[in-house]
Structure 1
Amino acid sequence: MNWIMLIIAGLFEVAFAFCLAKAKETTGTDMYLWYGGFLICSTISFLLLIKAVQTLPIGTAYAVWTGIGAVGTVLLGILVFKDPANFWRVFFIITLIGSIVGLKYVAH
């Protein structure tokens, strides 16, 4: 169950990065709504991370959390914000995913 909470926390990390990117693109009330979404998503993400590290090793949990956030944010950038998707970028994303999966399997 704690691994599921950790994965959801990582997805909320992606969501708060998305909100920051959208806030940068907007002005006025829309910008403040996106910043509000950022605050909500970051709060949920941190609370779930706190809950997950009560039973998971902190080093593994933090690495998995940031890895999910990093991979998700890069993929979101490529798919939604039209960031470049060259060979090396995709290669290192795949390497990072392999590292996240490996950490999960070697954690006690």
Structure 2
Amino acid sequence: MADGKHIATARKLRTTMTDAERRLWSRLRDRRLGGFKFRRQVPIAGFVADFACLDANLIVEVDGGQHVDEAESDLQRTRKLDELGFRVVRFWNDDVLIRTDDVLEAIRLALSGESASL
């Protein structure tokens, strides 16, 4: 269950989305990707996931340059979410902005249980 701190953080993040997050959200919202319902900035297990399709137990993370320095913490976060039954796929901001269709195809594959890397 999400605590008040994570709910407040998620609300703030929804209003300060990056350009890449906004672009991806415009393609995921309203069941636009294969009829799957995605939520944005979702508190899960003490973290705030960028996007989540809870029906498919899929989390989509959009990473900026700061994640180069946070690789170990991202790995630990992914392991924890994996333990809870979630599949986590990550994309760099640049990939979302420049190769949006490729990112969406990778997400489609992840939703069907296939490999989802770029």
Using structure 2 for the length normalisation, give the TM-score. 0.35
Instruction: Choose between structure 1 and 2 for higher RCO, CA contacts under 8 A separated by at least 6 residues.
Output: 1
* Higher strand residue share: 2
* Higher helix residue share: 1
